[in-house]
Amino acid sequence: MLRHYRMFAAYNRWANAQVYAVAAELSDAEFRSDRGAFFGSLHRTLNHLLVADRIWMKRFTGTGDAPSTLDVVLYEELDALAAARKAEDERIIAWTGTLDDASLAANFTYSPVTQPIEITQPLSPALAHLFNHQTHHRGQCHMTLTALGKPSLQLDLIYFLRGEGREWM
């Protein structure tokens, strides 16, 4: 599983870079246009993904900022958001590089942002959720981009593995 999670961390960085590259070609109005995704616009969805990653990484590592709501806009401007995304992706890659089998199996305890309860669970399924959550909302980013008339992105893991991610094959 360690290699699998490290592959997902690298894929996550690659897929985010694809989305942000297309986002950089949008007008500000397009970037902020509500196209029916859960968080509305590409702007708000990309902010949510960063928010969620920061929340989970704070839970996992005990360090970093963790917003207190899931819909907070951390960055109004795409350039600042993109820089923060890149830094968070590198943080995730570095952290997954420190994991071992015992840490994946170990329990950790956290309180969800949406409920004042404590949850204790093994790290491994929570880490799987981090990557699955990214994929879920990147799909909404893809839908938003195509609704804006932009070309469909090829974000499937297999495209990463056939190109930049060949080391994971």
Query: Do 93 and 10 form a contact (C-beta atoms < 8 A)?
Result: yes
Are the CB atoms for 44 and 167 separated by under 8 Å? no
For 26, the token pair is: 């949008």
Report how far residue 111's alpha carbon sits from residue 119's, in angstroms, rounded to the nearest whole number.
Answer: 6
Query: Per the annotation, does 137 bind a ligand?
Result: yes
- Tokens representing 157 are 């893991």
Q: Is 133 annotated as a binding residue?
A: yes
Give the residue ranges of the annotated binding site for a divalent metal cation: 48, 133, 137
Give the residue ranges of the annotated binding site: 48, 133, 137
